[in-house]
Amino acid sequence: MAAAKAGFYAMCVPESLGGAGLGMLAYYACWEELFRTCGPANWLMLYAISHWAFGPSRVLEAVTPRAGDEILEPMMAGEKSMCFGLSEPGAGSDAARLQTRAVIDGAGWRISGRKIWTTNSPVADYCIIFARTDSTDDPQAGTAQQSGISAFLVPTDAPGFHVERIIRMFGSIGGDEAELRLEDISVQPWQLVGTLHQGFQTALHGVSIGRIYNAARAVGYGRWALGA
């Protein structure tokens, strides 16, 4: 919240969401400097700039107007945060093989499944959950086209949303990653992120920004280690 007031938090957030839109070069440079300066112990620096999976980023450009009205203002102010529910225990590195499913229920859907390595989920207010919405029972169907997957914005206090366990990662103070259990979570059309059955494109947007972030983290930590 202090970073948001000072103008740093949303400086790389797209202008369409209300940010300064400084772009990915600035995003990389600032994260590298933070990791180099702070090292692995000062975890608060992870919230100085809006992380692609924690706070507002281009991932949220595809939310519905109602969802935007509900979440964007507190997200931009640093008062609320989110997480990115893509990886699953059985999917390995092929994220498109996810088995979490959203079954049609009236005008909406009900989501059930599991997620893992979901960073920030122990404290997040919202989660973008990726689930299969195609009609087949074969979780590998459509993998080549990465089709039949949709994204949904879900409050983490929704009935059926459970943080199953905290994953203690080496070098991560306290543990900010978790395994999630999703049981019959009800979602409505306004919670759909992007186009139905085409949610994997939203996932790729996020993962692409994540690669820039992780590159900056690797170089920044390397420079910190050399200095130490």
pLDDT in tens, 33-60: 999 999 988 888 889 999 999 999 999 9
pLDDT at 175 (0 to 100)? 80
**Token couple for 220:** 């920044």
pLDDT at 144 (0 to 100)? 47
**Strand-pair partners of 130:** 151
The answer to whether 196 touches 134, Cβ cutoff 8 Å, is no
Please work out, in degrees rounded to the nearest 5, the angle formed at the alpha carbon of residue 205 by the alpha carbons of 82 and 213. Answer: 70
- Structural domain boundaries, residue 126: 2-227
pLDDT at 134 (0 to 100)? 86
Q: Distance between CA atoms of 140 and 160, rounded to whole angstroms?
A: 25
pLDDT digits (tens, 9 = 90+) for 131-185: 999 865 555 554 544 789 999 999 999 999 999 999 988 766 778 899 999 999 9
**Token couple for 100:** 């979490």
Q: Find the distance separating the first CA and the last CA of the chain, reported in whole Å.
A: 30
pLDDT digits (tens, 9 = 90+) for 13-40: 999 999 999 999 999 999 999 999 999 8
pLDDT digits (tens, 9 = 90+) for 110-128: 999 999 999 999 999 999 9
* Res. 109: pLDDT tops 90: yes
Q: Distance between CA atoms of 82 and 72, rounded to whole angstroms?
A: 11
Residue 221's nearest CA partner among 30, 7, 38 is 38
Overall number of domains in the chain: 1
pLDDT at 49 (0 to 100)? 96
Q: Which whole-number Å values give the CA distances from 149 to 58, 135, 142, 165, in the listed order?
A: 19, 11, 9, 25
Instruction: Please name the residue that has the structure tokens 């049981």.
Output: 183
pLDDT at 142 (0 to 100)? 47
pLDDT at 56 (0 to 100)? 94
Instruction: Please name the residue that has the structure tokens 């983490």.
Output: 156
Of 64-68, 75-79, 143-147, 206-210, minimum mean pLDDT range: 143-147
The length of the chain in residues reads: 228
- CATH number of the domain that residue 103 is part of: 2.40.110.10
What is the pTM for the complete model shown?
Answer: 0.92
Q: In the predicted model, what is the mean pLDDT of residues 97-111?
A: 96
Give 30-75 as a DSSP string.
Answer: HHHHHHHHHTTT-GGGGGTS--TTTS-SGGGGGS-HHHHHHHHHHH
Q: Distance between CA atoms of 109 and 186, rounded to whole angstroms?
A: 6
Phi, psi of 147 (to 5 degrees): -105, 170
Question: Using the 8-state DSSP alphabet, how is residue 161 labeled?
Answer: E
Angle at which helix 200-227 crosses helix 24-38, to 10 degrees, equals: 40
